Amino acid sequence: IETLRGPARNDPAARDQFLQIMQNQTGRMARLIDDLLSLSRLEMKPYLRPGTAVDLRQTIDSVIDSLGPLASENGIVIERDFIDGPVSVPGDRDELFQVFENLLENACKYGQSGGRVTVSMARVEDGQDPGIDVTIRDYGPGIAEEHIPRITERFYRIDVENSRTHKGTGLGLSIVKHILSRHNARLSIKSEVGKGAAFTVHLPAR
């Protein structure tokens, strides 16, 4: 602001540059506040699993449709490999939407430009823990093994410069972890450097 009032006041190019910087920082701060509020709301909710039937296929289709422009911007093609017919799990539709939105958004941002992201769904018939597995796989640079145990911590960043470029807040995966905990669900992460990453959400059927 001081620069705009001073040296840049009569320089249109410099003024536009500083205004763009201010706009970017304001947007980042707004996203950070939104994520912090989301996390606070989740932490205040009792850990009672939501029981409403959620059409998982329709929910994930909606996420993919909403992120179509981001995928196109990053040269990413999103491929679906779904179970035939409707797939229902107990849960909170808005919260599950947020889970898959965060995971798919990350895959589109950090995956290989000009590549693909796959979203697959499979039934798990395990007698102890039946349910649905949803895997979001990208083919980007991957994640080093030492980062995987900490990746869902608040503000934990693997690549600070890349996170800033993609306007991340460092809270998305922490939000995912809290929502899945409330759903008695779990997140598993598999990755090798140079071979992309796969994030699998297991949602119990009961």
Mark whether 190 and 129 lie in a shared domain.
Answer: yes
**Residue for token pair 């939407």:** 97
Render each residue's pLDDT in the chain as its tens digit; 206 residues.
Answer: 565 566 656 667 766 666 666 666 665 666 656 656 666 666 666 567 888 999 999 999 999 999 999 999 889 999 999 988 889 999 989 889 999 999 999 999 888 777 899 999 999 987 778 899 999 999 988 989 989 988 888 767 766 444 444 455 667 888 888 889 889 999 999 998 988 999 999 999 87
* Closest among 64, 65, 100, 75 to 180, alpha carbons compared: 100
* Closest among 17, 28, 198 to 119, alpha carbons compared: 198
Question: Which domain CATH number covers 142?
Answer: 3.30.565.10
The H or E element spanning position 109 is helix 93-110
Mark whether 128 and 56 lie in a shared domain.
Answer: yes
Task: Say how many domains are in the chain.
Answer: 2
- Cα separation, 102 vs 76, whole angstroms: 16
Q: What is the pTM of this model?
A: 0.75
**Domain limits at 90?**
48-204
Mark whether 31 and 116 lie in a shared domain.
Answer: no
Residues in the chain: 206
- Cα separation, 132 vs 122, whole angstroms: 6
Mark whether 12 and 105 lie in a shared domain.
Answer: no
